[in-house]
Amino acid sequence: MARGKLRVLLGAAPGVGKTYAMLEEGRRLQSEGKDVVVAVVETHDRAATAAMLEGLEVVPRRTVEHRGVSLSDLDLHAVLARHPQIALVDELAHTNAPGLAHEKRWQDVHDLLDAGITVFTTVNIQHIESLNDVVEQITGVVQRETIPDSVLRAADQIEVVDLAPQALRDRLAEGLVYPAARIDAALSNYFRLGNLTALRELALLWLADEVDTALQAYRAEHGIDSKWEARERVVVALTGGPEGETLLRRGARIAARSSGGELLALHVVSDDGLREPHPASLAAQQSLVEKLGGTYHQVVAEDVPRALVDFARASNATQLVIGVSRRSRLSAFLTGQGVGATVIRESGDIDVHIVTHDAAGSHPIVLPRARGALSWRRLTLGFVFAVLAGPLLTWFLWSFRSSDALTAEVLAFQLITVIAALIGGIWPALFAAVLSGVTLDYVFVEPYYTITIARPLHLAALLLYVVIAALVSFVVDQAARRTRAARRSAAESEVLATVAGGVIRGDDAVEALVARAREAFGLNAARLVGADGSVLFEVSSRVDAATPPVDSATPPVDAAKPNGDRPTQPTHVEPVGDRARLELFGPALESSDRRILSAIATQLDAALEHRDLADTAEALKPLAETDRVRSALLAAVGHDLRRPLAAATAAVTSLRSPGIRLSASDRDELLDTAQAGLESLGSLVTNLLDVSRVQAGVLAVNLAPVDIDDVLPSALEELGVAPGAVVLDVTDDVPAVSADPVLLQRVVVNLLANALRYSASAPRLAVSAFGDDVQLRIVDAGPGVPDDRKEAIFQPFQREGDTDNTTGIGLGLALSRGFVEGMGGTLAVEDTPGGGLTMVVTLHTAPIGGTQ
């Protein structure tokens, strides 16, 4: 008998529509003539889901008695006896009732598949065993019911039932997922927008991994050994030229074709590097990189192709995108292979894309080192040319030698000297001049094959020839030096512009300056050390290797050295004012680099000064807040304390007045007024003392296991509310919380009094357990508070929104939050669905055994 097929509908969270989609597919298949039965479906009292069951055959459940409780579950034997073509089995990760054939429902499904029955089932991402810990970190909830990954990966078809997080929250708020009593807690806990977004991404990525696994299995089955890259890390080489935007967009498209593809842009400044005609061009390309979701990097290197390949390897890149050379054919011929040819030769297993663009064939820009006019490569080529061209020209001219051809012979050798000067500068030109002079005298000047010159005119011609060769080579060498100096200045401006641009865009100024200094000089590592020896920031040459401050005695890892060997001493130390020093690890800096390094150090000093000023301003905030509280307190004392004191004083004065005859009822009324005033005064003074303790951090808190059921009756009695004035919604399985019972009661009284004061209907107090926390939710239907003022209501002496503007001094919510935070919990405010305000008190459950 052929084994049945398993089709799984995977969801990011409950309520996305998995069961509904399964039933909808079952109805469709039934309409096509397939034999479909519902083995087990959990509707969770959702009307739309229950309606989808109409017209489908439902196999009766099996009832099991366990500890006096009747439990109903999937009847495996009944489904096997019915033996349909397709069985709909909800909640694959479900744990069966005790006494059934298997402990887990997925084991029942395994038997159905073995019997040749195709199974449609559902499961949520949080039930996958390998993701259980990740889901717990995201949501704070431990999932007890899990399913092995192997079971799910063995499915013939897996589909994600996707729903946007906000759409799911809207469904939840409309009561389409949970009963009304559970909506608020669900929206504020498991179904937070951030939680749902993370779970949705987790589900999609898990399915993407499953697709990748299936692809690998297919390649293994069909013997495909060639490289198939599903995810890419793409490095785009930027020159600062106009082709940069084209290259970046092409690289972004390559990265986007694979799940999780990453885009890195690299600009190399060096001997053979390129320089854009307008400095703003590279800054615009850097901004484009960030818009495309990539990262921008800049390094200084002598060998541009090698720098590109090394960076790509260090980044674990799979693709390298470069542009067609902007050099002319003549330039390429004179200077040898271009960057593209060298990168292709050195790239190894990294794919290289050479992209054509409108600027192809134009002249390149250069970022030279200042230590020499021409590179060693050009110098070598000049000598090689002089050595090879001289003998070849001698052989050619010797074939047509005559006594009247000396002038042509001198000019021909002069041409060799000029070309050697153009290629390699002054030293190859001088070498060519001396070599060709000796050759002319020895081969072409009488007497032949001697170094003797018989005619003075010939001697003058040779001397003039050498002088001209020296002058030409000198001019070429000076032009190369000035060009190099100009390119160096442009490179320095570019580095400074990049640093300034990073700071302007909002990057941390100190970190950006240190990181750019390391990249600009091609160093292995750089770190900023404070005046006290502490490391403020350090970064190494590895991608994303920036690290937080560490012990200054531990030098940063030198990523360029094998086995992570650490440098013993920095190669250069640059003072940064009197606040810090910048330590650089790597190749020694040249004198020409010191100018730009000094500029970076000056900016670092300014950035550190700005940070110190910001820290000082932050330190002054508490003083400003204290001054504000003091002013508010004086205003409150001047008004709110005076009123109950005046009432009590007037009542006592009337009672003591000898000229006034009062009846017994009048005396009782005056005594009640005095008592109420004094009680109000005592309450205000107590609150003032408590808020002072909270702000000073000296609130006395005695934590102990507290049962919520013991606190609520006392709080309601203190409020003196009539039965039914507060709707209580407390589940039976709420554990004890770690709290101070006196403070917790005052919190409940304050919040309920606030809700009663403005709620249009009876406020609701709901208590539920959530993971290792217990939440008390005081829900009112009052006018609420605007989003931009939700935090302000927790400040002392604030009276707005849900607080009464006629009584009190605005300490109730401030004290409540202080009490809750003193007990290790949180007090947050949310909007009530339909209007109003919900106060959410979250406390930790008490440890088992009652110890603190």
Task: Output the DSSP codes for 249-306.
Answer: HHHHHHHHTSTT-EEEEEEEESTT----SSTHHHHHHHHHHHHTT-EEEEEE-S-HHH
pLDDT band at 548 (very low <50, low <70, confident <90, very high): very low
Structure token pair of residue 708: 């919520």
Q: Where are the domains of the chain?
A: 6-221, 233-355, 376-482, 508-599, 704-844
- Please report which confidence band the pLDDT of residue 747 belongs to, taking 50, 70 and 90 as the band edges: confident
Instruction: Give the pLDDT confidence score for residue 551 in this predicted structure.
Output: 42
User: In angstroms, rounded to a whole number, what is the distance separating the alpha carbons of residues 527 and 544?
Assistant: 15
Q: Is 704 in contact with 852 (CB distance < 8 Å)?
A: yes
Q: Give which of 772, 725, 718, 727 is closest to 748, Cα–Cα.
A: 718
How many degrees, rounded to 5, is the angle at CA 191 between CA 185 and CA 192?
A: 95
**Distance from the Cα of residue 576 to its chain's centroid:** 31
Determine the pLDDT at residue 367.
35
pLDDT digits (tens, 9 = 90+) for 690-714: 555 555 554 567 788 888 888 888 8
Q: Which has more pLDDT, 60 or 379? A: 60
Instruction: Find which of 100-104, 236-240, 449-453, 848-852 is predicted with most confidence, using mean pLDDT.
Output: 100-104
Token pair for 158: 């897996």
What are the tens digits of pLDDT across the range 72-95? 888 899 999 999 999 999 999 888
Element (H, E) at 576: strand 572-576
Q: State the virtual CA torsion across 674, 675, 681, 686 in degrees, nearest 10.
A: 170
Mean pLDDT of 549-571: 47
Summarised one tens digit per residue, pLDDT across range 592-645 is 677 677 777 887 888 888 888 888 888 877 776 666 655 555 555 555 566 677
Which three-class secondary structure state does DSSP give residue 115?
A: coil
Task: Report which of residues 488 and 816 the model is more confident about.
Answer: 816
Q: Give the chain's radius of gyration (CA, Å).
A: 41
Q: What is the 3-state secondary structure (H, E, C) of 724-781?
A: CCCEEEECCCCCCEEECHHHHHHHHHHHHHHHHHHCCCCCEEEEEEECCEEEEEEECC
In this structure, the dihedral spanned by the alpha carbons of residues 607, 613, 618 and 620, taken in order and rounded to 10 degrees, is: 180
Q: Put the strands of the sheet holding 826-831 in their side by side order.
A: 727-730, 764-770, 773-779, 837-844, 826-831
- Residue 376 CA to residue 288 CA, distance in Å, equals 36
Residue 487 has a pLDDT of: 67
- The phi-psi region of residue 425 (left if phi > 0; otherwise alpha if psi is between -120 and 50; otherwise beta) is left
% of the chain surpassing 90 pLDDT: 8
In angstroms, the Cα distances linking 332 to 336, 481, 581, 612 are 6, 21, 44, 53
Rounded Cα gap, residues 590 and 552, in angstroms: 26
What's the pLDDT at 828?
87
pLDDT value of position 185: 56
Confidence check: pLDDT of 249 > 70? yes
> What is residue 572's predicted lDDT score, i.e. its pLDDT?
80
pLDDT in tens, 273-313: 444 444 567 778 888 888 888 888 888 777 788 888 888 88
Q: Is residue 134 pLDDT above 90, yes or no?
A: no
**Which of 86-100, 181-195, 729-743, 818-832 is predicted least confidently?**
181-195
The tokens describing 435, both together, are 């070599």
**Residue 217 pLDDT level (bands cut at 50, 70, 90):** low
Tokens of 677: 């005033």
* pLDDT reading at 114 higher than 80: yes
Report the chain's mean pLDDT, rounded to a whole number. Answer: 75
Check pLDDT > 60 for residue 567: no
**End-to-end Cα, the chain, rounded Å:** 61
| pLDDT digit string, tens, across residues 338-381 | 677 788 887 777 888 888 765 554 443 333 444 445 667 778 88
Name the packing angle between helices 339-346 and 304-314 (round to 10°). Answer: 40
Q: What is the pTM of this model?
A: 0.39
- In order of 193, 339, 418, 431, the CA distances from 424 in angstroms are 66, 20, 10, 11
Calculate mean pLDDT across residues 727-732.
80
Looking at residue 621, its pLDDT comes to 75
| 807 CB-near residues (< 8 Å, 6+ apart) | none
The token pair at 703 is 């934590």
Task: Find the angle CA(212)-CA(213)-CA(219) to the nearest 5 degrees.
Answer: 90
Three-state DSSP state, 582: strand
Comparing CA positions, the residue from 534, 532, 538, 579 lying closest to residue 556 is 538
Which fold would CATH assign to domain 233-355?
Rossmann fold (3.40.50)
Q: Which of 248-262, 563-577, 647-661 bottoms out in mean pLDDT, i.e. has the lowest?
A: 563-577
Report the distance separating Cα 751 and Cα 716, nearest Å: 11
* 666 phi/psi in degrees, rounded to 5: -65, -40
pLDDT on residue 544: 41
pLDDT at 535 > cutoff 70: yes
Fold of the 704-844 domain: Heat Shock Protein 90 (3.30.565)
What separation in angstroms does the CA of 636 have from each of 68, 496, 647, 673, 827? 61, 55, 17, 21, 25
Q: Do β-strands 233-238 and 69-73 pair in parallel, antiparallel, or remain unpaired?
A: unpaired
Q: CA 184 → CA 471, 691, 794, distances in Å?
A: 89, 30, 21
Q: Do 233-355 and 6-221 fall under one CATH topology?
A: yes
Give per-residue pLDDT as tens, 750-809. Answer: 888 888 887 778 888 888 887 788 888 888 888 888 877 777 777 655 554 443 444 444
- CATH number for domain 6-221, candidates 3.40.50.80, 3.30.40.10, 1.20.58.1690, 3.40.50.300: 3.40.50.300
H helix and E strand count, the chain: 25, 24
> For residue 626, how many other CB atoms are within 10 A of its CB?
11
